[in-house]
Structures are given as structure tokens and as C-alpha cells.
Amino acid sequence: MRKVWQTPGGIHPAENKLQSVQQPIQPLPLPPRLWVALNQHAGAVAKPLVAVGERVLKGQMIARPQPDSGTALHAPSSGTVVAIGPHPIAHPSGLPADCIEIVCDGLEQWIDRDRHPDYRSLPRSELLVMISERGVAGLGGAGFPTAIKLASDRPIELLLINATECEPYITADDSLLRERAEQMLVGIDIASYLLGDPAERVIGIEDNKPEAIAALRTAIAARSDKAAAIELAIFPTKYPSGGEKQLIQIVTGRELPSGALPAELGIVCQNVGTLYALKRAIVDGEPLISRITTVTGKACLRNGNYETLIGTPVSALLGHNQLQPQRLARLIMGGPMMGVALPSSELPTVKTSNCFIAADASEVAPEQPAQPCIRCGLCAEACPASLLPQQLYWHAQSQQHEKLEAHNLFDCIECGACSYVCPSNIPLVQYFRAGKGEIRQQRAEKAKSDFARERFEFRQQRLEQQERDKQAKREARKLAAEQAKAAQAQGDNGAAEDNSAAALIAAAQARAAARMASPQQQRDKLTRAITSSRARLQAAEDKLTQAQHDGADHSQLQALQAAQAAAAQKLQLAEQKLAELAATDSASSSDASAAPELDAASRAIAKARDSAAAREAMSPSEKMASDLAALDKRLAKLQEKLELCEDSEQRQLLESSAAKLQAKRDALHTSSQGDQHGI
Amino acid sequence: MQPLWELVVANPIAAAVLALVGLALLFGALLGFAAERFRVEGDPIVEQIDALLPQTQCGQCGHPGCRPYAESIAAGEAINKCPPGGQATINALAALLDLPAPELDDEHGEASEVKKVAYIREDECIGCTKCIQACPVDAILGSAKMMHTVIAAECTGCDLCVEPCPVDCIDMLPVETGIQGWQWQLPPRPGLIASDRQPHSGAAA
């Protein structure tokens, strides 16, 4: 007998285990339809490998888990996949989840079973993959993938086998040990091989299962391999001794630190059901497609343990046990302490479905209204984790999450001992579950918001970087342009100097000089212009007389007359210019040739003097005609300006001066005509 | 030296004054050194406020992101302008800043109970990239003239991509909670006198 230790707290509820162990484990008739839920437990959802309409064999893998979480799923019986979609599952939320629905053909046709009785010849890694692919999960409670648990990279000194089954009503492990202890011991051997053959292998079991203990003793004694001893640790019945932390404390006397995993103490815990499934998976090549489920409660006429296919509807289980629907007060999945009430029986079982209790009114206490907490402290005495449920209750009620965490809410194993002893009927565990849920949700939100912040800041940084890059490019371009300009400027210095004011002036002077040319050239030009004008005038006059002679129409005559007048004017202008030139020549013949570039003022004076002299030389009629021509010219110029001008004020000014000029011209015209008539 | 010592010996008041002045100089120097040596860069309160804000970067508060709002809260702006955070964020900010917790300011939008994420109707997307430019957390994937899609896990539900879409192919859909997101709810609060509730619970049972 191994020494055992005491744990704090705990309660002794009515066991109610006897009624379901009167008969051996029985097979259940094959239900017509099975629903295999894609998420059997908390964690990632498995990915279906089959399509609707596909025929599947018993034991065929139908869904693969996400890497490193969850377990593979297998067809519990041969048949056809008819649907993959949401179906209500046995979950406290009552929400539907994706299930693979299989219509059984009743043939129970197995896949090729890959048996490995000589598992010690296989490498550990291969064996672990096999365990994962054969869907072995923790059948004791949470359904944690066994392969992950057995792949511990820490040295393991103790393999602790949990046969406690401390919750009332449940006898699945008890009946398994009574009938299949030898097979379970093979499972222990596989697990200890995978864990590097730990020094100790201990089965922890409560003293309320004498038949199971006897069966275990016999099986252990019958083992051929005496070297790898398996010890039994039998301890007094108390709820909840079967919790992992509690069992470790009972068997080793060591308390698992808050938040630590048993592997950190060199311990791995495995449930007996899991080890049995492990043996079946490796030695018999049968994936986890069934488990032993207790069906009990006074609303059923028969109580017992059944080899249940995963995915069997609860209604099939209850129907087989002759459920009296009128007596059913509450349907509970799991034990009475930690289990959840199910809203209906049309739900499929999952890998962790160890017990269904169809309780009648005498078994479940009528729901008492919760009364205020009287601070009696019974819950603190009952708590196996040495927490202060009354304090946690206050903080959970007022949603003070920091206080909840400070009071170690996450060490609560939700065993329900506090609620059981509470004289005020406060549903303490529900408060704690809600508090945990809220804290988890807040943590998830915090993680998400931190991620969003990171992404937002990264984006800001990237945008700034882009802006900086653009700015740098712009500056580089600008610099390049400036450099190119400078290079060009250096290339032709002369051109650069042209741009200077001095150069501009010089160019203008050159142009002026060209225009001035020599007086001789100008005179030649003017004489040429006069002769051509004369010829044109002659031609125009000829045309006019011809037209008059031919009797052309009025408009044609007018046009010809205008042309003749224009030619005459041009001739007059050329003659006038020639006269001016002659006057200039005579006035400044000496210095004109010596210095053609007179200064502007003296030139203007000379010009004015010349023109005055020329006027004096002209006859009065000639004078008048030249005046008239000059006026006409000014008028034409003014008209041109007027057309170009856009400013209204300037326009007015120009118009008024144009009118003045027009009046002057008209006056001059009439006087000149009068003179002509007078002659 | 000699006259000072004589003064101290002869005059205890002078001795006390000297001692106090000496201590004042010593501690002043110590404090001055500590102020330089342990100087905190930036405003640590902004970090704390920013950590409480929901980081949707939606701009409903009138600031271009959560951090600018955190900065202006630190500078004295009202703490009730964040609809995505809702009353929980306001309460947390009030607790942090030791202020009374006001109600959410409706001017900046209403708090929605359901979390939403953007969803692009991919058949209708023309690949204009306008939503990608609008997304503050780079949660939209796609390129010019290619279909875009939202990375739902990274979408903060800020709504900013809906407005720029020229073909209105973006919807804000509530996030499906399902079994994974389900959690236990707090039990209804017990009344002060349990028998007050009995008729109701009796009727329900």
C-alpha cells in the first residue's frame, strides 16, 4: 500500500453509483444515424476529409485536426455521409455546431486495421503520429489530445493513472476496470514507453470501488513484465479527489503550483479510459470510435454502462434504457456536480460523454431561489483549491475582474463543492464560469487590439516612409536639374553673357544701326518704292478707266477707286519720306556720315527741324495733303490700338482721342477740298 | 576658519542654520541628479490610456486613430467619445484617470452590442483599391483591378472602408460567435428578499 496524503476541502455527496454497475458493459444497438461533431472539445475545429454522399468504412478517418490541436475523427460505423453542417450538439450553450452525419448501413465494415502489438519496435515519434491520427483524446474530462500530452519533452518520473472517478453516479471507469483491467494495463505500458519509462507508475483509485481494485490487483499480479511495477494508491472517497491537481497531491503530497502543468513536476496524468483507448488504437488498430458511457437516473428503468459509438444520439441511449419521459425532471450530461443540463435528448454524444443522468424529481433538488450570501464561510471550507468562493462571488457579481484574478479565480476547477454546501443556494460555480469567460474574452480582445495597434502603427510608419522617399526623390530630381543647368551654362559662356543687360542693349543698337543703314541705301530703297508705287497707281487708274469704260457695277467701281486711292497714298508717303531723307542729308551731311548713331534727342530735334523745313518748302495744298495723310495714319494706328485694347478706361480715352482726330481730319479734308475747288 | 568655528560654538542658532542649509544643498543636489538620471521620456499616461482604447482606429472620436485620442484625453479631452469601446472603456478610463464616468456621447455614434467585420461581395468588387487605402490596419488584401477581400481576423470593424467603395460592395456583418465564442453568463441577480421572486420562478419551473 502506497502512502497517501490529504487534500484540503472536499465534500461527501451521495454516491448513487451502485445502480449502474449491476450489469456488465453492454453493447448498444447500432443507431440508424450518427452525428460526429467536428469540435469534440474546446480547441480548434477539425477539417472534414469526406464529401456528402461518400461511403465510409468503420474506423475511416473523416476529419483531420488542425496542426497541434484537436484530434482526428473517424467514422464510428460503416455507412454513407449524408450531410456536413450545423446540428445541435451536447454543449451547455445549446448552439448548433458542424457535424458529419452518417447513415449507417448496418454492415459494420471495418477498414484494414493496422495492429501493432510490438509497439516497442516502433520509434516514439511514429507512435505519437499514430495516436494522433487514431483520434485518442483524454476521456476523463476535457478531451485534450493524448498525443500532445505524451509528447512531453520534460523528463517524467511518475505516470499517474487516474481511476478515481469521484463524481457521483458515474461508473464508466469502474466498470471498465472490472472487466478490462488487463487491456488498460497494456495502455499504461504504451504510455510509459512513450514517456521514456518513468520510474513510477501509480494508479490512483478511491476505496469505493472494491471490485475494480480487486480486478486491478489480479491483472497486475498476472503481468509477465514484473520489472515495470505498477503500484496502486487507494485513498478514501471524497469529492473531488479525481481532479488532476488533487490526485497529484493525494499520491505525491506535492501541490501543483498555480498555472503550472503536471509535466513541470515530472508527472503525467492519464485517465483509465484514455489508456484503454490507447491500447485499442495501437495494439488493435481501432481508432477511438466508441467509449463506455454510463446511463443512469431514476427516470430510466434500466441503468448501466454501454459501449457507445461516438455520435450516437442521446435519445437512442435513453430509449434503450427505457426512459420514462413523464418522470424526467432534468437530463444531465456528465456528473451531477460538474455536468451540464441538456435542453433536449436529440443530441449526439462526443468523446468526453462519460455519463448521462436522466434524473427524476426526487434526485434533483427543486430549484431554490438564490438568497443573499451570509458570509458563513462553508464554501471556503469545502473548496479543494483553498480559494475564497465568497470573495470571488462578490467580485464576479460586480465584474471586478482584476480582483477576481487577484483571488486566483483561474485556480478554480469548477468542481461545484462550494455551490453544494452553500446554505443560500447561490449558484457560485456559474458566477465563476461567467467571470472566467469574461476575463478570457477581455484577454482575447486585448490581444486583438494590441495586434490592431501594431498593424496601425506599422501602417503609419510605412506611410511616413513612403512620404519621406517621395520627398527624397523630389529633392534628388531638383538637384539633378540644377546641376544640368549649371553644366550647360559652363558649356557656352558666350551665350550666357548674351543674357546680360549689356548684351541686350548691344543687340538693340545693332538692330537700330541695321535699320538706319546708310542714307544712300535708304534713299535707293525709297526711290524703288516710289517707282513701284507709281506703276501700281498707274495700273489702278488704268483699271478704273477701263472699268468705267466697260460700265462695271457700282461696288466694283468703288473697290477699284479705293485701290487707286491707296496706291496714290502710298506713293505720296514714299515721296514724303524721300523728301525727309533728303532734308536730313542736307542738314547734317557732315556728321551723319561720321557718326550715324546720334543720340536720340538730337535725332528727334533734327527730324522735327527737317520736317518743318520740308513743310515750308511744300505748297499749301501739298502741306494740307501731307497733314491729312499723317492724320489718317494716326487715326489708323489709333483704331488698331482701340481694337487691341481691353481695359475699358483706356478704351474710353482712346475713343475720345480717335473722335478728336476724326474731327480734325474732317475739317482739314473739307478745307483742302475747298482749296482745290477754289483753284 | 577659526572665526566661523567660534561663531558656531558660540551661537547654536547659527549652527542649526548652517546644518539645515547644508542638508538643503545636499538633498537638492541629490534630487537634481535623480531628475536627470531617471527622466521618463514621453508621457506615460498616454500609453496607459492608449492601452485601454479598443484600437479600432475608426476615427469616430474625431481623431485620426486611437493614439491621437489618447493624447488629447491626456491633455484634458472628454473620455466619452469612443463608441466601439462603449461604457466598459469609459469606465476603465474613468478608473485610470480618477474621473467620474460619463455616459457615452451620442454625437460620436452609438455603441453597438454586436461586433462587426467588413465583408466584400467579391463578385461586385472592381478592384479600385480605395478600401485598401482607407483601411487603418491593413486588413484588406488585393491589388489594382484584382478582387479585394477582407482578412476577417484582422478587421477591427471600423467602417472606414464602406464609404470610399464606389460600387458599394462592402457590408458590415456581425461576427458569428458560435460555440467557440460562447461563454457562461452571470446568473440573474438575487433579490434582497428571496421570497419576492418565488411566484415568478415558480411559474417558470
**ipTM for the assembly:** 0.78
pLDDT value, residue A206: 93
Q: Which residue has the higher pLDDT, A651 or A454?
A: A454
Question: What class does CATH assign to B116-175?
Answer: alpha beta
- Percent helix / strand / coil, chain A, rounded to 5: 50, 15, 35
What CATH code is carried by the domain that includes residue A248?
A: 3.40.50.11540
Domain annotation covers residue A676: yes
Residues of B in CB contact (< 8 Å) with A are 50, 53-57, 65-67, 136-139, 154, 156, 178-180, 182-187, 189-192, 194-195, 197-198, 201, 205
Domain annotation covers residue A68: yes
Query: Which residues in chain B are contacts of A89 at CB distance < 8 A?
Result: 179
* A177 & A284 share domain: yes
* A393 part of contact set with chain B, CB < 8 Å: no
Convert the pLDDT of each residue in A24-35 to its tens digit.
998 888 999 999
* HSE-CB of B142 using CA atoms within 13 angstroms: 23
Domain annotation covers residue A526: yes
Distances (CA, A) of A592 to A304, A518, A584, A598, A606: 143, 9, 9, 8, 11
Q: Which of A477, A497, A529 is the last residue of a domain?
A: A477
* A173 & A308 share domain: yes
Domain annotation covers residue A87: yes
Nearest chain A Cα to B137, which residue?
A456
* A329 part of contact set with chain B, CB < 8 Å: no
pLDDT value, residue B65: 87
Q: Which of A359, A390, A416 is the last residue of a domain?
A: A359
At residue A34, φ and ψ (nearest 5 deg) are -130, 140
Cell triple for B41: 521620456
* A118 & A253 share domain: yes
Convert the pLDDT of each residue in A473-518 to its tens digit.
999 999 999 999 998 888 765 554 455 666 677 777 777 766 665 6
Domain annotation covers residue A287: yes
Convert the pLDDT of each residue in A510-535 to its tens digit.
777 666 656 677 778 778 888 888 88
CATH of domain B44-108: 1.10.15.40
* A28 & A177 share domain: yes
Q: Which of A96-110, A392-406, A583-597, B15-29 has the lowest mean pLDDT?
A: A583-597
Assess whether pLDDT exceeds 90 at residue A412: yes
Convert the pLDDT of each residue in A574-623 to its tens digit.
788 778 777 766 655 444 444 445 566 667 677 777 777 766 666 667 77
* A250 & A128 share domain: yes
* A463 & A323 share domain: no
At residue B69, φ and ψ (nearest 5 deg) are -65, -40
Determine how β-strand B170-174 pairs with β-strand A158-162.
unpaired
Domain annotation covers residue A501: no
Q: Is A379 annotated as a binding residue?
A: yes
Which structural domain, as residue segments, surrounds residue A53?
18-359
Convert the pLDDT of each residue in A110-155 to its tens digit.
998 888 888 889 999 999 989 988 989 888 877 888 888 888 888 8
Nearest chain A Cα to B191, which residue?
A371
Domain annotation covers residue A593: no
Q: Measured at the alpha carbon of residue A66, what is the angle toward residues A62 and A68, in degrees to the nearest 5?
A: 125
* A459 & A403 share domain: yes
Summary count for chain A: helices (H), strands (E) = 20, 17
How far apart are alpha carbons A414 and A402 in whole angstroms? Answer: 19
Domain annotation covers residue A213: yes
**Residues B55, A370: C-beta atoms closer than 8 Å:** no
* A138 & A229 share domain: yes
Q: Which of A421, A450, A477 is the last residue of a domain?
A: A477
* A346 & A418 share domain: no
* A40 part of contact set with chain B, CB < 8 Å: no
Task: Let me know: does A224 contact A130? Beta carbons within 8 Å.
Answer: no
CA distance A178 to chain B (A): 37
Determine how β-strand A231-235 pairs with β-strand A26-27.
unpaired
Nearest to A449 among B55, B189, B205 (CB): B55
At residue A358, φ and ψ (nearest 5 deg) are -95, 90
Assess whether pLDDT exceeds 80 at residue A548: no
Residue (of A574, A575, A580, A570) closest to A612 by Cα position: A580
At residue A420, φ and ψ (nearest 5 deg) are -65, -40
pLDDT bin (cut points 50, 70, 90) of residue A679 is very low
Assess whether pLDDT exceeds 80 at residue B179: no
pLDDT value, residue B204: 39
Count: domains in chain A: 4
Query: Which residues in chain A are contacts of B182 at CB distance < 8 A?
Result: 91-93, 95
**Residues B178, A426: C-beta atoms closer than 8 Å:** no
How far apart are alpha carbons A23 and A178 in whole angstroms? Answer: 11
* A284 & A397 share domain: no
